[in-house]
Structure 1
Amino acid sequence: MNFKSVYLFSLIAVFCLSCKNNTSENKETQEVITSTSSLVNSKPNIVVLLCDDLGYGDLSSFGHPIIKTPNLDKLAETGIKLTDFYSTAPVCSPSRAGLLTGRSPNKAGIYDFIPGLKKSPDNRDLVHLQAHEQTIPAMLKSVGYATCLVGKWHCSSRFNSDEQPQPDDFGFDHWFATHNNAAPSHKNPKNFIRNREKVGEIEGFSSQIIVTEAINWLDNKKDDNPFFLEVTFHEPHEPIASPENLVEKYLPLSENREQAEYFANVENVDIAVGRLVEYFESKNMDNTLIVFSSDNGPETFMRYSRAKHSYGSPGALKGMKLWTNEAGFRVPGIINWIGKKTFTGTTNKVVSALDYLPTFAELSGAKLPNRNLDGESFTALLENGDFNREKPLIWAFYDALNERKVAMRKGDWKIMASIEADGKPLPNIHNLSDGNEALVKNAKLVNHVLFNLKKDISESEELSGSNPEIFQNMKKALAVEYKNLLDESHIWVREE
């Protein structure tokens, strides 16, 4: 490797969504297979579709009363709709790092979004996915996969520079990406890089541009080896731009033009997904596993000056992007295996993007990385819908907008805690460095709260007082999990 070289939501829709999510066994028709031999080691093509800032309630299949997403809805209807799917962080860069590595992004030292280069006391300008991190594409390459990334990278502070690893250093044969957002907007972007070469302005909209790139890569593939394709849409992250015909469609149904542009933006992603699925089917790619989700929850309207289009919906969930309440990282999840008979239906089994790596390893026959993973394989879910994770999911997001920066889900229960340092709330922190390591590691978890997410996805009823035994057990478990996470968290040190 060369490292030099909100709009008002329909109460009926929210109520129905909540009812579906709180049902232990959805009554929709489900098909179950009992044999594992047809799935494991079949070396399927694997496609990860990832939106940027898409809210839990932004797809019509997840309860949106206005936005039309027929292609994604069909994938959910004919595959698996995951009502309890989690991203690995409530913001973009750490979420992507966790997805690629199957480990908490804190362990990779990616705690917050990665900005452009600007030297800071907390060493944030040093942050990048480091060369020793083992990723999905590199793992799959070891068993013969061709690999491709199209869309948003956002895993390095020095994008397209030999001073830090780039996508090809982590196993991508072909990459066509931007550092962060498409610029100047989704329309006619100018900042794409293809395999370390600047591309210049491209006519069209980002979601369609990257799907076209993916299709061209597949068309030019010179062998029949299976492929891993990661499609990381910029949409519906600001700065939003959408096709005018779609905007016109939504104007009569929207509060203003900006909201219509947001609605159109989500549908444009759906159209792009439809193009890709149609391509797979036209080429008889009948062993292609597709997983769809978002990197985090929806942006808060006007949280910053450019967020004037941010009309994303958290559905029935509490919070938004940058929160450790559910809407920060609970996102739409869909799995569909083209050409394979799997479990189908709606499930409230708890699944995380951390689980992609171990699942893909099992399905492809690849050897797992020699390190402790935070994800676990969900092949049982594909086989018969019976997946019960053993590892709790924990998030420690030190820049959270809500009071409690640490959260853990274990089974049906979620516990959250504030962090207190020197008798005061820990200030918001972007990055762990040698300058603040002692402060964070000596801080204490305080002010715990407890929720039953099976019964209360809105986190509206705090239950620590009425469930003292469960509360104490969850507090103890959180203390252990958080300590383990802190012990493995990477600390950034500037080498002068």
Structure 2
Amino acid sequence: MKIKAYKLVFLFTILLVISCKGKEEAKHETTQNEEEVVKQPNIVVLLCDDLGYGDLSSFGHPVIETKHLDKLAETGIKLTNFYSTAPVCSPSRAGLLTGRSPNKAGIYDFIPGLKKSPDNRDLVHLQAHEQTIPAILKSVGYSTCLVGKWHCSSRFNSDAQPQPNDFGFDHWFATHNNAAPSHKNPSNFVRNGEKVGEIEGFSSQIVVDEAINWLEIKTDDNPFFLEVTFHEPHEPIASPEDLVQKYLPKAKNREEAEYFANVENVDLAVGRLLDYFEKNNITNTLIVFSSDNGPETFMRYERAKKSYGRPGPLKGMKLWTNEAGFRVPGIINWIGQETFTGTSDKVVSALDFLPTFAELAGAELPDRTLDGESFTSLLNTGNFERTKPLIWVFYDAINQRRAAMRKGDWKIMARLVDENNEELPQLHNLYDGNEALVKHAKLTDFVLFNLTKDINESEDVSAQNPEVFQDMKATFQLEYKNLLDESHVWVRAE
């Protein structure tokens, strides 16, 4: 009996040790989890509107001063092969928010104000089922805010279509499209569904004021996601007079001086936000800066009289599927965290924001295939080799070849023709009235460029590189078919 008692005592002791060890491990695991939550970075997206690849001094502009953005690039990562998700505003923003080609969301062109259209363009909006960056980050404890331009719905500030708060933004202060009547004293901002009325000042400074105020009144200790979508330098351009006077001696005319001043005013607004972070010891903050598309063409339409944006060495402008349409300045800077620093020629896209931010925040990815991929390795080591090609199909492109794909050093482009080999008309939208035309169209007249050797796409090298050309062509046709199969078609309900 004594032996059995000893055995019971021994067994009890073992169980007690195991129990204590389990509690310690659980406690350690809880501590680790708490540390992981603490390590979630704040994430800030700064997005300009119509800023060209050559419009920052750090990207080669000889006149415009952008010292705050230049410093972000100098102390972070300057991306020379960064791409927006479309060569025009609305689809570009939809692609950024969802990590998927905007064609899959059914946003093919800029979204006009509400006006019934025979091609169902008035129906276009970011649909409620789309899974977005703020919603995903909100699911793991982030507070979220949008300030600036929305432009993802035809019915802005209406219950008829989802609004920014329906996609995960706790706080939003936005306009449908441009600041109106101009960047100066805009009167069309809406804050969380309530019209604000005229606000004194310039749009870039106003949206940063709102961002800072939101951070000031934020009562929780959650990490934050802040999207600052500047209206500048999109028309109608208006700039502070002191900055205009500064640039007049260096510009062709007053209109160009206003453009130069407009870009610097954005830089000054960014500087104010960075100063706020520094003064309030807001660290562990990942900042990405870019543009929604390339620069507007001077006088493409009547109000574009101050559109003096520059594409740098790139071919084309906004609305082109040549490089200047969607290759834009890219800057990444992680305040308070050691990362790779320097200039990178790795191919990165705004499509990559969602998977990257999700990985850094510890959030689950959407239950659908993404077109972007995480570039955390770029932050850690400077290395990032994307496995997914980037494809753009913009049916309203100004240039002839409206479909394009980049894979590695190479870019391939093609025309879209119908069954009679006639070029497709320019289209704003894919709807049931043109679905058959678009889906039966084929790619033709391919050209191939080596972008590392020929950044301005001046020489078709398909004949000199037959194996590369055939491989690129086969991949392009497959990617185009897959994109077309998933492209949303707008149908008006009876």
Report the TM-score when normalising by structure 2: 0.92
What is the deviation of 1:215?
0.1
Distance 1:267 1:152 in 2: 19
Structure 2 counterpart of 1:487: 485
**Aligned amino acid, residue 383 of structure 2:** D
Task: Give, in whole Å, the separation in 2 of the partners of 1:56 and 1:119.
Answer: 35
> How far apart, CA to CA, are the structure 2 residues paired with 1:317 and 1:233?
23
Give the conservation status (yes or no) of the 8 Å contact 1:41–1:363: no
Q: SS state of the match for residue 165, structure 2?
A: helix
Q: Which among 321, 326, 329 is matched to residue 329 of structure 1?
A: 326
Matching of residue 159 in structure 1 with residue 156 in structure 2: yes
- Structural mapping, 1:467-486, within 5 Å: 467-486=465-484
Q: Determine whether 1:300 maps to 2:260.
A: no
1:264 counterpart residue number: 261
| Structure 2 counterpart SS, 1:445 | strand
1:385 to 373, 378, 382: 382
**Residues 408, 41 of structure 1: CA spacing in aligned structure 2 closer, same or farther, 3 A cutoff?**
farther
**Counterpart of 1:135 in structure 2: which amino acid?**
T
Larger Rg: 2
Q: Which one of 418, 430, 433 corresponds to residue 431 of structure 2?
A: 433
Q: Deviation at 1:357?
A: 0.1
- Offset of residue 41 of structure 1: 8.6
* Aligned position for 2:192: 195
Q: In the TM superposition, what is the alpha-carbon distance from 1:455 to its structure 2 partner?
A: 1.0
CA contact (8 A) 1:43 1:364 kept: yes
CA apart distance, 1:191? 0.1
Aligned pair in 2 of structure 1 residues 41, 87: CA closer, same or farther (>3 Å)? farther
Superposed CA deviations along residues 168-221 of structure 1, whole A, max 9, x for unmatched, are 000000000000000000000000000000000000000000000000000000
The equivalent of 1:279 in structure 2 is 276
Of the candidates 110, 122, 126, which is equivalent to residue 113 of structure 1? Answer: 110
| Alpha-carbon shift at residue 408 of structure 1 (Å) | 0.1
1:395-434 Cα deviation digits (max 9, x unpaired): 0000000000000000000000000013200110000000
**How does 1:387-406 map onto structure 2 within 5 Å?**
387-406=384-403
1:226 to 219, 223, 227: 223
Counterpart CA distance in 1 for 2:36 and 2:259 is 38
Counterparts in 2 of 1:3-402, with a 5 A limit?
A: 42-402=39-399
Letter in 1 for 2:377: A
Question: What SS does the corresponding residue of 2:355 show, helix, strand or coil?
Answer: helix
Q: Using the TM superposition, give the Cα deviation of residue 42 of structure 1 relative to its aligned residue in structure 2, in angstroms.
A: 2.6
Letter in 2 for 1:475: K
Within 1, Cα distance between the matches of 2:348 and 2:421?
36
**2:437 is the alignment partner of 1:424:** no
The corresponding residue for 1:7 is none
Larger RCO (alpha carbons 8 Å, 6+ apart): 1
Unaligned runs of 5+ residues in structure 2 are: 1-34
Q: Write the distance in 1 (CA, Å) between the matches of 2:482 and 2:156.
A: 31
- Measure, in 1, the Cα distance between the counterparts of 2:39 and 2:348: 22
Distance in 1 (alpha carbons) for counterparts of 2:335 and 2:426? 44
Aligned amino acid, residue 236 of structure 2 = P
Measure the CA separation in 2 of the matches of 1:310 and 1:53: 9
Deviation of 1:121 after TM superposition, in Å, equals 1.5
Does 1:451 find its partner at 2:453? no
**1:128-166: per-residue Cα shift (whole Å, max 9, x none)?**
000000000000000000000000000000000000000
Aligned mates of 1:39, 1:249 — CA distance in 2: 48
- Aligned-residue CA RMSD in angstroms? 1.0
The code of the aligned residue for 1:142 comes to: S
C-alpha contact (below 8 Å) 1:41/1:364 kept by paired residues? no
Q: Deviations over 1:261-282 (max 9, x none)?
A: 0000000000000000111111
Give the residue type in structure 2 aligned to 1:462: D
Aligned position for 2:460: 462
Match of 1:13 in 2: none
Q: Note if contact 1:39-1:363 (Cα within 8 Å) is conserved in structure 2.
A: no
- Separation in structure 1 between the aligned mates of residue 344 and residue 37 of structure 2, nearest angstrom: 21
Secondary structure of 1:425 counterpart: coil
- Identity over aligned pairs, percent: 81
Letter in 1 for 2:368: R
For residue 442 of structure 1, what is the amino acid of its counterpart? H
Name the structure where helix makes up a greater proportion of residues.
2
Contact 1:408 1:416 in 2 (8 A): yes
Q: CA deviation at 1:117?
A: 1.2
Equivalent-residue separation in structure 1 for 2:117 and 2:125 (angstroms): 15
Paired amino acid for 1:494: R
Report the CA distance between 1:77 and its aligned residue: 0.0
- CA deviation profile, 1:56-79 (whole Å, cap 9, x unmatched): 000000000000000000000000
Q: Is the 8 A contact 1:85 1:352 kept in 2?
A: yes
The CA distance in 2 between the partners of 1:291 and 1:456, in whole Å, is 27
Cα gap change, 1:240/1:39 in structure 2, threshold over 3 Å: closer, same or farther? farther
Matching residue's letter, 1:431: N
Structure 1: 4+ residue segments shifted above 4 A: 38-41
CA distance in 1, matches of 2:238, 2:99: 32
Q: Distance in 1 between matches of 2:399 and 2:440?
A: 21
Alignment: residue pair count: 459
1:281 and 1:141 mapped to 2: Cα distance? 25
